Amino acid sequence: MDTGLAGKVVVVTGATANIGRGIALAFAAEGARVVVVGRDEQAGPRVVERAREQGAAEALWHAADVTVEDRVAGLVEAVLARFGRIDVLVNNVGGSGDFGPFVSTTPAQWRADLDMTVLSTLLCTHAVLPHMLEQGGGRIVNIGSMAAIIGDPQLAVYSAAKGAVHSFTRVLALELGKTGITVNAVAPYGTRPRDPQEEFSAGSRYHPESGLFSKALRERPEQLHTIGRPTALPRQQAYSDEIGAAAVYLASEQAAFVTGQVLQVDGGVALV
């Protein structure tokens, strides 16, 4: 299937590990020009090298904290200076600094989680949109979560933040419907890397030493296990490349008539 993505300029935020890495490499395999965005100066170049091996027409590493407005502006300026356009924006940055009952969390934690998941999506989209409008089209793919649909226990603010991403996706799709820009989201459930030793970065939940889930598995496994839910399939988690495949579809020519949708890649967890 020809996705029409060869040579397209694709910006993927949070692309140094897990879902973001899987998405960047999926676009690379389609021959796209991939911009790998993240904060880990060691992991980023590794992903760029892998993207080139996968078949990217070009691959560029750009270090940026996309919760900071001027860093986002600098990112967009750098991509336009290099390529002259942005065809696809994948807003992948998001997450939670910790998990636990809402009553034990703090406003500082809420703000950090909302900045990471919602503010990053708003800032990147707002910076890229004028250029997509000027060029007469584009694709925006937001990474939401099944937590926004079924709720994840002990991740109340994260679930709420991903719900905001889903709502933003639908409203923006309606606003941009006549412009040639489509806006969709992918809602993964319990995604993990196929090879955690290769696919982590300094900020990854799966970093073997500092990652949120890795530390929780060592220090409070009983609490961690309350988050998980059974799926309808034998496997309980998606792999990052499967989320990449969904993002590629939504950005492809085959999805030109798809907008405002939240594509669930969840193993049927909502059915159980």
Q: Both tokens of residue 203?
A: 């900020």
Q: What is the pLDDT of residue 228?
A: 75
Whether 93 is covered by a domain: the verdict is: yes
Whether 27 is covered by a domain: the verdict is: yes
> Residue 200: is its pLDDT beyond 90?
no
> Residue 252: is its pLDDT beyond 60?
yes
> Residue 250: is its pLDDT beyond 90?
yes
Q: What is the pLDDT of residue 81?
A: 98
Q: Both tokens of residue 246?
A: 């969904």
Single out the catalytic residue among 158, 189, 206, 239: 158
Q: Which pLDDT band, with edges at 50, 70 and 90, does 220 fall under?
A: low
Q: Give the mean pLDDT of 44-66.
A: 97
Domain holding 139: CATH number? 3.40.50.720
Look at 45-49, 171-175, 177-181, 215-219 and tell me which has the smallest mean pLDDT: 215-219
Whether 3 is covered by a domain: the verdict is: no
> Residue 51: is its pLDDT beyond 80?
yes
> Residue 61: is its pLDDT beyond 90?
yes
Whether 2 is covered by a domain: the verdict is: no
263 closest CA partner among 178, 158, 189: 189
> Residue 214: is its pLDDT beyond 80?
no
Q: In this predicted model, which residue has the larger pLDDT, 208 or 74?
A: 74
Whether 122 is covered by a domain: the verdict is: yes
Q: What is the pLDDT of residue 1?
A: 82
Distance CA 12, CA 27 (A): 9
Q: Give the mean pLDDT of 46-74.
A: 98
User: How many domains does the chain divide into?
Assistant: 1
Contacts of 80 (CB under 8 A, 6+ apart): 86, 131
> Residue 137: is its pLDDT beyond 80?
yes
Helix boundaries (H) for the chain: 18-29, 43-54, 69-83, 107-114, 120-135, 147-150, 156-175, 212-219, 221-225, 240-251
Whether 130 is covered by a domain: the verdict is: yes
Q: Give the mean pLDDT of 104-116.
A: 96
Q: What is the pTM of this model?
A: 0.93
Q: What is the pLDDT of residue 226?
A: 65
Range of the domain at 93: 9-271
Whether 4 is covered by a domain: the verdict is: no
Whether 1 is covered by a domain: the verdict is: no
Q: Give the mean pLDDT of 32-55.
A: 97
Distance CA 199, CA 244 (A): 14
Distance CA 33, CA 72 (A): 19
Q: What is the pLDDT of residue 195?
A: 78
158 catalytic? Reply is: yes
140 closest CA partner among 181, 179, 92: 181
Q: Both tokens of residue 48?
A: 């760029």
- The average confidence (pLDDT) of the chain is 92
